[in-house]
Amino acid sequence: MYVAWEEVEKKQNSVRLFALINIILTVVAILYGFVSIGKLNNPFVMVLALVPVGILWWIFTTKLKAYKAMYKSVVVDRAAQGMFDRYVYSPEAGFSQEEIRATGIMSMGNRYDSEDMLEGSYKGVTFRRADIYIAQHHSNGKSSYTVVYLRGTWLTFTYNKMFLSDLQIRTKGFRYSDKKTSRIFTRESERRHSFETESVEFNDAFECTCQNDSEAFYLLTPRVMQMLLLLKDEFGYDFMVGFVQNRLHFAINSGKNNMEPPVFSGTSLGAEVETVRRELKIITNIVDSLAIDRDIFKE
Query: Pick from 24, 58, 80: which residue ends a domain?
Result: 80
pLDDT at 60: 81
Instruction: Specify whether 226 is located in the same domain as 118.
Output: yes
Instruction: Specify whether 161 is located in the same domain as 249.
Output: yes
pLDDT above 60: residue 193: yes
Higher pLDDT, 36 or 1: 36
Task: Residue 165: give the domain boundaries.
Answer: 88-290
pLDDT at 292: 41
pLDDT at 129: 96
Angle at 77 between CA 76 and CA 78, to 5 degrees: 95
pLDDT above 70: residue 206: yes
Instruction: Specify whether 26 is located in the same domain as 155.
Output: no
Do residues 282 and 128 touch, judged by C-beta distance below 8 A?
no
Confirm whether 194 is domain-assigned.
yes
pLDDT at 38: 58
pLDDT at 62: 86
- Identity of residue 212: N
Stated pTM of the model: 0.81
Rounded distance, CA 178 to CA 170, Å? Answer: 11
Number of domains the chain is built from: 2
> Mean of the pLDDT values across residues 30-41?
66
Confirm whether 275 is domain-assigned.
yes
pLDDT above 60: residue 294: no
Rounded distance, CA 219 to CA 225, Å? Answer: 9
Nearest CA to 71 out of 259, 289, 271, 286 is that of: 259
Query: Pick from 80, 96, 118: which residue ends a domain?
Result: 80
> Mean of the pLDDT values across residues 82-101?
93
pLDDT category at 93 given cuts 50, 70, 90 is: very high
Give how far the C-alpha of residue 197 lies from the chain's centroid of Cα atoms, to the nearest Å. 29
Instruction: Specify whether 155 is located in the same domain as 254.
Output: yes
Distances (CA, A) of 207 to 210, 243, 246, 279: 10, 14, 22, 25
Nearest CA to 113 out of 91, 90, 89, 134 is that of: 134
pLDDT at 299: 43
pLDDT category at 24 given cuts 50, 70, 90 is: confident
Instruction: Specify whether 125 is located in the same domain as 270.
Output: yes
pLDDT at 297: 47
> What phi and psi values does residue 59 have, to the nearest 5 degrees?
-65, -40
pLDDT above 60: residue 296: no
Long-range (24+ apart) CB contacts under 8 A made by 24-31 are 25/52, 25/53, 25/56, 26/50, 26/53, 26/57, 29/53
pLDDT at 58: 83
pLDDT above 80: residue 33: no
Instruction: Specify whether 49 is located in the same domain as 164.
Output: no
Do residues 261 and 68 touch, judged by C-beta distance below 8 A?
yes
Do residues 174 and 253 touch, judged by C-beta distance below 8 A?
yes
Instruction: Specify whether 50 is located in the same domain as 193.
Output: no
Instruction: Specify whether 63 is located in the same domain as 98.
Output: no
Query: Pick from 58, 80, 102: which residue ends a domain?
Result: 80
Quick one: residue 154, left, alpha or beta (phi over 0 = left, psi -120 to 50 = alpha)?
Answer: beta
Instruction: Specify whether 74 is located in the same domain as 103.
Output: no
Instruction: Specify whether 10 is located in the same domain as 142.
Output: no
pLDDT at 95: 97
